[in-house]
Chains A and B, each alone.
Chain A
Amino acid sequence: MDLITPNLGLIFWQLVVFLLVLFLLAKFAWKPILTSLREREDSIESALRMADQAKLEMQQLKAGNEKLLTEARQERDKIMQEAGQMANQLIEQAKNKATEEGSRMIMQAREAIQNEKNSALAEVKNTAAKLSIDIAERILRRELTDPTAQQQLVNSYLQEVKLN
Protein backbone atom coordinates (compact mmCIF):
# COMPACT_ATOMS: atom_id res chain seq x y z
CA MET A 1 0.00 0.00 0.00
CA ASP A 2 3.09 2.12 -0.19
CA LEU A 3 2.11 3.01 -3.73
CA ILE A 4 -1.14 4.73 -2.82
CA THR A 5 0.05 6.48 0.33
CA PRO A 6 0.93 10.07 -0.53
CA ASN A 7 4.29 11.11 0.85
CA LEU A 8 4.26 14.39 2.76
CA GLY A 9 7.71 15.48 1.57
CA LEU A 10 6.82 14.95 -2.07
CA ILE A 11 3.52 16.83 -1.64
CA PHE A 12 5.49 19.71 -0.15
CA TRP A 13 8.07 19.79 -2.95
CA GLN A 14 5.46 19.28 -5.64
CA LEU A 15 3.39 22.17 -4.29
CA VAL A 16 6.37 24.51 -3.95
CA VAL A 17 7.96 23.64 -7.29
CA PHE A 18 4.69 23.54 -9.21
CA LEU A 19 3.50 26.89 -7.87
CA LEU A 20 6.93 28.38 -8.58
CA VAL A 21 6.87 27.00 -12.13
CA LEU A 22 3.29 28.23 -12.54
CA PHE A 23 4.24 31.71 -11.37
CA LEU A 24 7.42 31.95 -13.43
CA LEU A 25 5.86 30.52 -16.58
CA ALA A 26 2.78 32.72 -16.21
CA LYS A 27 5.00 35.77 -15.93
CA PHE A 28 7.80 35.00 -18.37
CA ALA A 29 6.21 32.60 -20.85
CA TRP A 30 2.43 32.41 -21.00
CA LYS A 31 1.81 36.15 -20.75
CA PRO A 32 4.15 37.17 -23.60
CA ILE A 33 3.17 34.12 -25.67
CA LEU A 34 -0.59 34.61 -25.34
CA THR A 35 -0.29 38.37 -25.83
CA SER A 36 1.80 37.93 -28.98
CA LEU A 37 -0.58 35.26 -30.25
CA ARG A 38 -3.54 37.56 -29.76
CA GLU A 39 -1.64 40.47 -31.31
CA ARG A 40 -0.71 38.38 -34.29
CA GLU A 41 -4.25 37.11 -34.72
CA ASP A 42 -5.55 40.66 -34.48
CA SER A 43 -3.02 41.90 -37.01
CA ILE A 44 -3.85 39.06 -39.40
CA GLU A 45 -7.54 39.74 -38.99
CA SER A 46 -7.11 43.46 -39.55
CA ALA A 47 -4.86 42.78 -42.54
CA LEU A 48 -7.53 40.54 -44.02
CA ARG A 49 -10.17 43.13 -43.33
CA MET A 50 -7.99 45.81 -44.92
CA ALA A 51 -7.40 43.62 -47.96
CA ASP A 52 -11.15 43.14 -48.30
CA GLN A 53 -11.66 46.85 -47.98
CA ALA A 54 -8.94 47.53 -50.53
CA LYS A 55 -10.58 45.05 -52.88
CA LEU A 56 -13.90 46.80 -52.45
CA GLU A 57 -12.24 50.17 -53.01
CA MET A 58 -10.53 48.83 -56.09
CA GLN A 59 -13.84 47.64 -57.41
CA GLN A 60 -15.38 51.00 -56.69
CA LEU A 61 -12.44 52.73 -58.33
CA LYS A 62 -12.70 50.44 -61.32
CA ALA A 63 -16.42 51.11 -61.58
CA GLY A 64 -15.68 54.86 -61.31
CA ASN A 65 -13.03 54.58 -63.99
CA GLU A 66 -15.42 52.69 -66.21
CA LYS A 67 -18.03 55.35 -65.69
CA LEU A 68 -15.49 58.09 -66.38
CA LEU A 69 -14.37 56.28 -69.49
CA THR A 70 -17.90 55.89 -70.85
CA GLU A 71 -18.55 59.51 -70.03
CA ALA A 72 -15.39 60.50 -71.83
CA ARG A 73 -16.37 58.36 -74.79
CA GLN A 74 -19.79 59.95 -74.89
CA GLU A 75 -18.20 63.37 -74.61
CA ARG A 76 -15.82 62.55 -77.42
CA ASP A 77 -18.65 61.27 -79.59
CA LYS A 78 -20.61 64.40 -78.87
CA ILE A 79 -17.63 66.61 -79.65
CA MET A 80 -16.95 64.69 -82.83
CA GLN A 81 -20.55 65.01 -83.86
CA GLU A 82 -20.60 68.67 -83.07
CA ALA A 83 -17.35 69.20 -84.91
CA GLY A 84 -18.75 67.39 -87.94
CA GLN A 85 -21.85 69.48 -87.82
CA MET A 86 -19.80 72.63 -87.46
CA ALA A 87 -17.58 71.65 -90.36
CA ASN A 88 -20.58 70.88 -92.51
CA GLN A 89 -22.09 74.16 -91.51
CA LEU A 90 -18.87 75.97 -92.30
CA ILE A 91 -18.59 74.30 -95.66
CA GLU A 92 -22.24 75.13 -96.37
CA GLN A 93 -21.66 78.69 -95.34
CA ALA A 94 -18.52 78.96 -97.40
CA LYS A 95 -20.31 77.43 -100.36
CA ASN A 96 -23.23 79.78 -99.98
CA LYS A 97 -20.92 82.70 -99.61
CA ALA A 98 -18.95 81.66 -102.66
CA THR A 99 -22.13 81.22 -104.71
CA GLU A 100 -23.37 84.54 -103.52
CA GLU A 101 -20.08 86.22 -104.29
CA GLY A 102 -19.96 84.55 -107.65
CA SER A 103 -23.48 85.62 -108.54
CA ARG A 104 -22.76 89.10 -107.24
CA MET A 105 -19.62 89.32 -109.35
CA ILE A 106 -21.54 88.06 -112.37
CA MET A 107 -24.18 90.70 -111.73
CA GLN A 108 -21.56 93.37 -111.39
CA ALA A 109 -19.94 92.16 -114.57
CA ARG A 110 -23.28 92.25 -116.31
CA GLU A 111 -23.98 95.71 -115.07
CA ALA A 112 -20.56 96.85 -116.14
CA ILE A 113 -21.07 95.26 -119.53
CA GLN A 114 -24.49 96.95 -119.82
CA ASN A 115 -22.99 100.27 -118.85
CA GLU A 116 -20.16 99.84 -121.28
CA LYS A 117 -22.66 98.80 -123.92
CA ASN A 118 -24.88 101.82 -123.14
CA SER A 119 -21.98 104.23 -123.19
CA ALA A 120 -20.71 102.63 -126.38
CA LEU A 121 -24.17 102.96 -127.94
CA ALA A 122 -24.41 106.57 -126.74
CA GLU A 123 -21.03 107.29 -128.23
CA VAL A 124 -22.05 105.59 -131.47
CA LYS A 125 -25.27 107.65 -131.39
CA ASN A 126 -23.37 110.86 -130.69
CA THR A 127 -20.84 110.09 -133.34
CA ALA A 128 -23.65 109.19 -135.76
CA ALA A 129 -25.48 112.40 -134.83
CA LYS A 130 -22.33 114.47 -135.22
CA LEU A 131 -21.57 112.78 -138.48
CA SER A 132 -25.18 113.36 -139.58
CA ILE A 133 -24.96 117.00 -138.53
CA ASP A 134 -21.64 117.34 -140.23
CA ILE A 135 -23.02 115.73 -143.35
CA ALA A 136 -26.19 117.81 -143.09
CA GLU A 137 -24.12 120.96 -142.57
CA ARG A 138 -22.01 120.22 -145.56
CA ILE A 139 -25.10 119.44 -147.63
CA LEU A 140 -26.84 122.53 -146.31
CA ARG A 141 -23.81 124.73 -147.02
CA ARG A 142 -23.80 123.60 -150.57
CA GLU A 143 -27.58 123.94 -151.07
CA LEU A 144 -27.96 127.24 -149.27
CA THR A 145 -25.60 128.94 -151.52
CA ASP A 146 -28.76 129.57 -153.56
CA PRO A 147 -30.90 132.31 -151.75
CA THR A 148 -34.20 130.87 -152.98
CA ALA A 149 -33.49 127.62 -151.45
CA GLN A 150 -32.73 129.43 -148.19
CA GLN A 151 -36.06 131.22 -148.39
CA GLN A 152 -37.88 128.02 -149.00
CA LEU A 153 -36.32 126.36 -145.97
CA VAL A 154 -37.12 129.26 -143.65
CA ASN A 155 -40.66 129.11 -144.81
CA SER A 156 -40.95 125.43 -144.16
CA TYR A 157 -39.63 125.98 -140.57
CA LEU A 158 -42.05 128.74 -140.00
CA GLN A 159 -44.89 126.59 -141.20
CA GLU A 160 -43.86 123.94 -138.85
CA VAL A 161 -43.75 126.40 -135.93
CA LYS A 162 -47.18 127.66 -136.79
CA LEU A 163 -48.51 124.18 -136.82
CA ASN A 164 -47.22 123.65 -133.35
Chain B
Amino acid sequence: MKRLLIALFCILSLPVFANEPASTQAEATDKEAFSPGEMILHHISDSHEWHFATLGDEEHGTHLTLPLPVIAYQPTKGLSVFSSSRLAHGQSYNGLKLEHEHLVAEDGGHVYDFSITKNVASLLLSALLLLLVFTAVARGYGKNRNGAPRGIQSFFEPIIVFVRDEVAKKSIGPKYERYMPYLLTIFFFIWFNNLLGLMPGGANLTGNIAVTLTLAVLTLIITLASSNKYYWSHIFATPGVPKALLPIMIPVELIGVVVKPFSLMVRLFANITAGHIVILSFISLIFIFRSAAVSPVSIAFGLFINVLELLVAILQAYIFTLLTAMYIGGAVEEHHDADHQIGGDNAAAPAHGHAH
Protein backbone atom coordinates (compact mmCIF):
# COMPACT_ATOMS: atom_id res chain seq x y z
CA MET B 1 0.00 0.00 0.00
CA LYS B 2 2.66 2.46 1.08
CA ARG B 3 4.81 1.48 -1.87
CA LEU B 4 1.89 2.12 -4.12
CA LEU B 5 1.42 5.55 -2.60
CA ILE B 6 5.09 6.36 -2.95
CA ALA B 7 4.93 5.26 -6.58
CA LEU B 8 1.88 7.44 -7.02
CA PHE B 9 3.74 10.33 -5.47
CA CYS B 10 6.66 9.77 -7.78
CA ILE B 11 4.38 9.88 -10.77
CA LEU B 12 2.66 12.95 -9.46
CA SER B 13 5.93 14.68 -8.76
CA LEU B 14 7.34 13.94 -12.22
CA PRO B 15 5.68 16.97 -13.77
CA VAL B 16 6.89 18.96 -10.78
CA PHE B 17 10.49 18.16 -11.48
CA ALA B 18 9.88 18.51 -15.17
CA ASN B 19 8.57 21.99 -14.53
CA GLU B 20 11.50 22.93 -12.35
CA PRO B 21 13.83 24.31 -15.02
CA ALA B 22 10.91 26.29 -16.36
CA SER B 23 10.10 27.71 -12.96
CA THR B 24 13.73 28.58 -12.25
CA GLN B 25 13.79 30.39 -15.54
CA ALA B 26 10.58 32.09 -14.59
CA GLU B 27 11.94 33.01 -11.16
CA ALA B 28 13.51 36.14 -12.53
CA THR B 29 10.12 37.39 -13.58
CA ASP B 30 7.92 35.63 -11.00
CA LYS B 31 9.34 35.58 -7.49
CA GLU B 32 6.29 33.83 -6.14
CA ALA B 33 6.91 30.66 -8.16
CA PHE B 34 5.69 27.70 -6.15
CA SER B 35 8.09 24.81 -5.65
CA PRO B 36 6.25 21.81 -4.19
CA GLY B 37 9.46 19.84 -3.52
CA GLU B 38 10.87 22.66 -1.44
CA MET B 39 7.58 23.21 0.40
CA ILE B 40 7.22 19.50 1.23
CA LEU B 41 10.81 19.12 2.36
CA HIS B 42 10.42 22.22 4.50
CA HIS B 43 7.36 20.68 6.13
CA ILE B 44 8.80 17.26 6.83
CA SER B 45 12.23 18.34 8.00
CA ASP B 46 13.30 19.87 11.26
CA SER B 47 13.44 23.59 11.85
CA HIS B 48 14.83 25.99 14.44
CA GLU B 49 11.51 27.79 14.70
CA TRP B 50 7.94 26.55 14.77
CA HIS B 51 6.36 28.09 11.73
CA PHE B 52 2.56 27.96 11.63
CA ALA B 53 1.54 30.25 8.76
CA THR B 54 2.56 33.23 6.69
CA LEU B 55 0.09 36.03 6.09
CA GLY B 56 0.85 37.93 2.91
CA ASP B 57 3.87 37.30 0.72
CA GLU B 58 7.07 35.57 1.71
CA GLU B 59 9.22 38.72 1.85
CA HIS B 60 6.98 41.32 3.45
CA GLY B 61 4.13 39.31 5.03
CA THR B 62 3.63 38.42 8.69
CA HIS B 63 5.15 35.10 9.75
CA LEU B 64 3.23 33.37 12.51
CA THR B 65 6.14 31.57 14.11
CA LEU B 66 7.10 30.45 17.56
CA PRO B 67 10.80 31.19 18.08
CA LEU B 68 12.56 28.31 19.83
CA PRO B 69 15.75 28.35 21.90
CA VAL B 70 19.01 27.71 20.09
CA ILE B 71 21.57 25.82 22.17
CA ALA B 72 24.91 25.55 20.43
CA TYR B 73 28.26 24.36 21.62
CA GLN B 74 31.40 25.49 19.86
CA PRO B 75 34.73 24.03 20.97
CA THR B 76 36.30 27.48 20.59
CA LYS B 77 33.57 29.71 22.06
CA GLY B 78 31.77 27.35 24.43
CA LEU B 79 28.03 27.15 25.01
CA SER B 80 25.65 29.77 23.67
CA VAL B 81 21.91 29.89 24.25
CA PHE B 82 19.60 32.38 22.51
CA SER B 83 16.28 32.67 20.76
CA SER B 84 16.02 31.50 17.18
CA SER B 85 14.30 34.79 16.27
CA ARG B 86 17.79 36.35 16.28
CA LEU B 87 18.71 34.10 13.35
CA ALA B 88 15.59 34.87 11.29
CA HIS B 89 16.01 36.04 7.69
CA GLY B 90 19.65 34.94 7.50
CA GLN B 91 20.81 37.19 10.32
CA SER B 92 23.77 36.04 12.34
CA TYR B 93 24.16 36.10 16.09
CA ASN B 94 27.14 35.27 18.26
CA GLY B 95 29.06 34.18 15.14
CA LEU B 96 26.34 31.67 14.23
CA LYS B 97 23.90 31.67 11.36
CA LEU B 98 21.42 29.33 9.68
CA GLU B 99 22.23 27.88 6.31
CA HIS B 100 19.40 25.73 4.94
CA GLU B 101 18.18 25.15 8.49
CA HIS B 102 21.69 24.07 9.57
CA LEU B 103 23.42 26.00 12.28
CA VAL B 104 26.90 26.95 11.09
CA ALA B 105 29.65 29.11 12.48
CA GLU B 106 30.57 32.13 10.38
CA ASP B 107 34.24 31.38 10.92
CA GLY B 108 33.75 27.84 9.59
CA GLY B 109 34.42 26.17 12.97
CA HIS B 110 32.57 23.11 14.19
CA VAL B 111 29.20 23.64 15.87
CA TYR B 112 27.39 21.07 18.01
CA ASP B 113 23.74 21.93 17.71
CA PHE B 114 21.62 20.94 20.72
CA SER B 115 18.86 23.44 19.94
CA ILE B 116 15.29 22.93 20.99
CA THR B 117 14.16 22.59 17.40
CA LYS B 118 10.59 22.11 16.21
CA ASN B 119 11.02 18.35 16.59
CA VAL B 120 12.51 18.63 20.07
CA ALA B 121 9.69 20.95 21.11
CA SER B 122 7.18 18.44 19.75
CA LEU B 123 9.07 15.67 21.53
CA LEU B 124 8.83 17.55 24.84
CA LEU B 125 5.15 18.22 24.21
CA SER B 126 4.49 14.55 23.53
CA ALA B 127 6.47 13.55 26.62
CA LEU B 128 4.35 15.90 28.70
CA LEU B 129 1.20 14.54 27.09
CA LEU B 130 2.25 10.93 27.71
CA LEU B 131 3.03 11.67 31.34
CA LEU B 132 -0.24 13.54 31.88
CA VAL B 133 -2.38 10.92 30.16
CA PHE B 134 -0.86 7.84 31.74
CA THR B 135 -0.51 9.20 35.25
CA ALA B 136 -4.22 10.06 34.92
CA VAL B 137 -4.88 6.48 33.84
CA ALA B 138 -2.80 5.18 36.74
CA ARG B 139 -4.73 7.44 39.14
CA GLY B 140 -7.92 5.84 37.87
CA TYR B 141 -6.58 2.47 39.04
CA GLY B 142 -5.57 3.90 42.42
CA LYS B 143 -8.96 5.48 43.00
CA ASN B 144 -11.03 2.64 41.68
CA ARG B 145 -9.36 -0.48 43.02
CA ASN B 146 -10.60 -3.71 41.41
CA GLY B 147 -13.59 -1.83 39.97
CA ALA B 148 -14.58 -1.55 36.34
CA PRO B 149 -12.43 0.97 34.40
CA ARG B 150 -13.84 4.47 33.93
CA GLY B 151 -13.24 7.41 31.61
CA ILE B 152 -9.74 7.69 30.13
CA GLN B 153 -8.82 4.48 31.94
CA SER B 154 -11.38 2.48 29.98
CA PHE B 155 -10.04 3.84 26.69
CA PHE B 156 -6.43 2.87 27.32
CA GLU B 157 -6.95 -0.31 29.30
CA PRO B 158 -7.86 -2.53 26.31
CA ILE B 159 -4.79 -1.21 24.44
CA ILE B 160 -2.49 -1.87 27.41
CA VAL B 161 -4.00 -5.34 27.85
CA PHE B 162 -3.60 -5.95 24.10
CA VAL B 163 0.09 -5.00 24.22
CA ARG B 164 0.54 -7.24 27.24
CA ASP B 165 -1.40 -10.29 26.04
CA GLU B 166 -1.04 -10.22 22.26
CA VAL B 167 2.37 -8.64 21.89
CA ALA B 168 4.48 -9.27 24.98
CA LYS B 169 3.14 -12.60 26.27
CA LYS B 170 2.98 -14.21 22.83
CA SER B 171 6.33 -12.98 21.54
CA ILE B 172 8.49 -13.03 24.67
CA GLY B 173 6.96 -15.79 26.74
CA PRO B 174 7.14 -16.18 30.51
CA LYS B 175 9.77 -13.42 30.99
CA TYR B 176 7.56 -10.78 29.39
CA GLU B 177 6.99 -8.73 32.51
CA ARG B 178 10.49 -7.20 32.59
CA TYR B 179 9.97 -5.73 29.13
CA MET B 180 6.44 -4.42 29.59
CA PRO B 181 7.47 -0.84 30.56
CA TYR B 182 9.68 -0.51 27.47
CA LEU B 183 7.12 -2.04 25.11
CA LEU B 184 4.26 0.09 26.44
CA THR B 185 6.33 3.26 26.39
CA ILE B 186 7.58 2.67 22.85
CA PHE B 187 4.06 1.82 21.64
CA PHE B 188 2.39 4.88 23.08
CA PHE B 189 5.38 7.15 22.29
CA ILE B 190 5.26 6.21 18.61
CA TRP B 191 1.47 6.32 18.42
CA PHE B 192 1.13 9.71 20.17
CA ASN B 193 3.89 11.24 18.07
CA ASN B 194 2.45 9.82 14.86
CA LEU B 195 -0.87 11.46 15.73
CA LEU B 196 0.78 14.74 16.79
CA GLY B 197 2.59 14.73 13.45
CA LEU B 198 -0.74 14.52 11.64
CA MET B 199 -2.07 17.62 13.40
CA PRO B 200 -1.97 20.78 11.29
CA GLY B 201 1.32 22.48 12.01
CA GLY B 202 2.63 19.41 13.80
CA ALA B 203 6.23 18.30 13.60
CA ASN B 204 7.28 15.19 11.70
CA LEU B 205 8.98 13.62 14.71
CA THR B 206 8.49 9.88 14.09
CA GLY B 207 9.31 10.53 10.42
CA ASN B 208 12.73 11.79 11.45
CA ILE B 209 15.58 9.35 11.03
CA ALA B 210 17.32 10.51 14.22
CA VAL B 211 14.29 9.59 16.32
CA THR B 212 13.71 6.20 14.72
CA LEU B 213 17.46 5.54 14.90
CA THR B 214 17.43 6.19 18.66
CA LEU B 215 14.44 3.93 19.21
CA ALA B 216 15.94 1.16 17.05
CA VAL B 217 19.27 1.39 18.89
CA LEU B 218 17.46 1.14 22.23
CA THR B 219 15.72 -2.00 20.98
CA LEU B 220 19.08 -3.40 19.83
CA ILE B 221 20.68 -2.64 23.21
CA ILE B 222 17.79 -4.27 25.09
CA THR B 223 17.87 -7.31 22.81
CA LEU B 224 21.61 -7.78 23.25
CA ALA B 225 21.50 -7.10 26.98
CA SER B 226 18.83 -9.75 27.52
CA SER B 227 20.27 -12.32 25.10
CA ASN B 228 21.19 -15.73 26.51
CA LYS B 229 23.70 -18.33 25.35
CA TYR B 230 21.21 -19.98 22.98
CA TYR B 231 20.92 -16.71 21.08
CA TRP B 232 24.68 -16.52 20.64
CA SER B 233 25.09 -20.22 20.00
CA HIS B 234 22.58 -19.80 17.21
CA ILE B 235 24.70 -17.03 15.71
CA PHE B 236 28.15 -18.61 16.11
CA ALA B 237 27.19 -22.27 15.68
CA THR B 238 23.90 -22.35 13.86
CA PRO B 239 22.45 -25.79 14.52
CA GLY B 240 22.17 -28.02 11.47
CA VAL B 241 24.71 -26.06 9.42
CA PRO B 242 27.92 -27.87 8.32
CA LYS B 243 31.13 -26.53 9.88
CA ALA B 244 32.51 -25.56 6.50
CA LEU B 245 29.65 -23.10 5.98
CA LEU B 246 30.14 -21.35 9.31
CA PRO B 247 32.58 -18.71 7.92
CA ILE B 248 29.71 -17.58 5.71
CA MET B 249 26.94 -18.09 8.24
CA ILE B 250 28.54 -16.17 11.10
CA PRO B 251 28.85 -12.87 9.20
CA VAL B 252 25.35 -13.35 7.80
CA GLU B 253 23.92 -13.91 11.27
CA LEU B 254 25.88 -10.97 12.68
CA ILE B 255 24.57 -8.75 9.90
CA GLY B 256 21.11 -10.06 10.78
CA VAL B 257 21.50 -8.78 14.35
CA VAL B 258 22.05 -5.27 13.02
CA VAL B 259 19.62 -5.45 10.12
CA LYS B 260 16.67 -6.14 12.42
CA PRO B 261 16.84 -2.79 14.25
CA PHE B 262 17.88 -1.11 10.99
CA SER B 263 14.64 -2.33 9.42
CA LEU B 264 12.74 -0.96 12.43
CA MET B 265 14.40 2.42 11.91
CA VAL B 266 13.74 2.61 8.18
CA ARG B 267 10.19 1.24 8.34
CA LEU B 268 8.91 3.82 10.81
CA PHE B 269 10.82 6.70 9.20
CA ALA B 270 9.73 5.84 5.67
CA ASN B 271 6.09 5.13 6.52
CA ILE B 272 5.50 8.34 8.41
CA THR B 273 7.52 10.54 6.07
CA ALA B 274 5.83 9.03 3.02
CA GLY B 275 2.41 9.67 4.55
CA HIS B 276 3.26 13.32 5.13
CA ILE B 277 4.69 13.67 1.62
CA VAL B 278 1.59 12.15 0.02
CA ILE B 279 -0.79 14.44 1.90
CA LEU B 280 1.33 17.51 1.16
CA SER B 281 1.64 16.63 -2.51
CA PHE B 282 -2.12 16.34 -2.86
CA ILE B 283 -2.44 19.78 -1.32
CA SER B 284 0.34 21.04 -3.61
CA LEU B 285 -1.71 20.08 -6.66
CA ILE B 286 -3.89 23.13 -6.06
CA PHE B 287 -0.89 25.43 -6.27
CA ILE B 288 0.76 23.57 -9.12
CA PHE B 289 -2.33 23.93 -11.29
CA ARG B 290 -2.97 27.42 -9.87
CA SER B 291 -6.64 26.64 -9.86
CA ALA B 292 -9.21 26.34 -7.07
CA ALA B 293 -11.08 23.87 -9.26
CA VAL B 294 -8.53 21.21 -8.36
CA SER B 295 -9.14 21.70 -4.64
CA PRO B 296 -12.14 19.33 -4.26
CA VAL B 297 -10.07 16.50 -5.71
CA SER B 298 -6.99 17.46 -3.69
CA ILE B 299 -8.94 17.79 -0.49
CA ALA B 300 -10.82 14.53 -1.03
CA PHE B 301 -7.61 12.61 -1.68
CA GLY B 302 -5.76 14.45 1.08
CA LEU B 303 -8.54 13.64 3.53
CA PHE B 304 -8.54 10.01 2.45
CA ILE B 305 -4.78 9.73 2.97
CA ASN B 306 -5.05 11.59 6.27
CA VAL B 307 -7.63 9.11 7.55
CA LEU B 308 -5.45 6.30 6.25
CA GLU B 309 -2.54 7.85 8.15
CA LEU B 310 -4.59 7.71 11.36
CA LEU B 311 -4.68 3.95 10.85
CA VAL B 312 -1.00 3.85 9.86
CA ALA B 313 -0.16 5.80 13.03
CA ILE B 314 -1.36 3.02 15.32
CA LEU B 315 -0.34 0.26 12.90
CA GLN B 316 3.27 1.41 12.81
CA ALA B 317 3.34 1.76 16.59
CA TYR B 318 2.00 -1.80 16.80
CA ILE B 319 4.48 -3.17 14.25
CA PHE B 320 7.45 -1.48 15.92
CA THR B 321 6.36 -2.82 19.32
CA LEU B 322 5.56 -6.30 18.00
CA LEU B 323 8.89 -6.65 16.20
CA THR B 324 10.76 -5.31 19.22
CA ALA B 325 8.97 -7.91 21.35
CA MET B 326 9.81 -10.64 18.81
CA TYR B 327 13.50 -9.69 18.75
CA ILE B 328 13.59 -9.70 22.55
CA GLY B 329 11.67 -12.98 22.53
CA GLY B 330 14.25 -14.51 20.21
CA ALA B 331 17.04 -13.34 22.51
CA VAL B 332 15.54 -14.67 25.76
CA GLU B 333 14.11 -17.93 24.43
CA GLU B 334 15.43 -20.90 26.40
CA HIS B 335 15.39 -23.83 23.99
CA HIS B 336 16.60 -24.46 20.47
CA ASP B 337 13.17 -23.84 18.98
CA ALA B 338 14.39 -20.26 19.06
CA ASP B 339 15.83 -20.92 15.59
CA HIS B 340 12.39 -21.00 14.06
CA GLN B 341 11.40 -17.88 15.92
CA ILE B 342 14.35 -15.87 14.65
CA GLY B 343 14.01 -17.30 11.17
CA GLY B 344 10.38 -16.23 11.27
CA ASP B 345 11.37 -12.71 12.24
CA ASN B 346 13.77 -12.37 9.38
CA ALA B 347 11.11 -13.53 7.02
CA ALA B 348 8.48 -11.34 8.62
CA ALA B 349 10.44 -8.10 8.63
CA PRO B 350 10.74 -7.63 4.84
CA ALA B 351 7.16 -8.81 4.47
CA HIS B 352 6.02 -5.95 6.64
CA GLY B 353 8.25 -3.63 4.66
CA HIS B 354 6.45 -4.67 1.49
CA ALA B 355 3.06 -4.48 3.02
CA HIS B 356 3.45 -0.89 4.12
Contact = CB atoms under 8 A, between A and B. Distances in A.
A2 interface: yes
Contacts of B137: 29, 33
A140 to B, nearest CB: 140
A10 B44 contact: no
Given A5-B209, A9-B120, A28 B182 contact: no
Interface stretch (B14-22, B128-136, B294-302): B128-136
A32 interface: yes
Contacts of A24: 131
Contacts of B177: 34
Interface stretch (B157-165, B232-240, B311-319, B324-332): B157-165
Interface stretch (A15-23, A53-61, A75-83, A128-136): A15-23
A6 B137 CA distance: 34
B210 A33 contact: no
B138 A29 contact: yes
A34 B127 CA distance: 20
A36 B46 contact: no
Contact of A36 (B117, B141, B189, B269): B141
Contacts of A21: 127, 130-131, 185, 189
Interface string B197-233: 0000000000011110111001000000000000000
A97 interface: no
Contacts of B124: 17
Interface of chain B: mostly helix, strand, loop or mixed: helix
Nearest to B103: A9
The range of chain A's interface size is: 20 to 34
Interface string B254-295: 000000000000000100010000000000000000000000
A37 B157 contact: yes
Contacts of B142: 32, 36
A14 interface: yes
A163 interface: no
A3 B164 CA distance: 34
B305 interface: no
B112 interface: yes
B48 to A, nearest CB: 10
B214 to A, nearest CB: 4
Nearest to B207: A3
B114 A13 contact: yes
A18 B218 CA distance: 10
Interface in B161-188: 161, 164, 177, 180-182, 184-185
Interface residues of B, number: 49
Pick the most buried of A24, A30, A33, A43: most chain B CB atoms within 10 A of its CB.
A33
Interface string A37-61: 1011001000000000000000000
A28 B116 CA distance: 26
Contacts of A17: 120, 123-124, 127
Contact of A33 (B160, B209, B214): B160
Pick the most buried of A5, A7, A8, A18: most chain B CB atoms within 10 A of its CB.
A7
B145 interface: yes
B41 interface: yes
Interface string B94-110: 00000011000000000
30 contacts: A2-B45, A3-B45, A3-B209, A6-B209, A6-B213, A7-B210, A8-B112, A8-B210, A9-B115, A9-B120, A10-B46, A12-B114, A13-B123, A15-B218, A17-B120, A17-B123, A17-B124, A18-B218, A25-B181, A29-B134, A29-B138, A30-B181, A30-B185, A31-B181, A32-B142, A33-B141, A34-B160, A34-B180, A36-B145, A36-B146
Interface of A: 2-15, 17-18, 20-22, 24-26, 28-34, 36-37, 39-40, 43
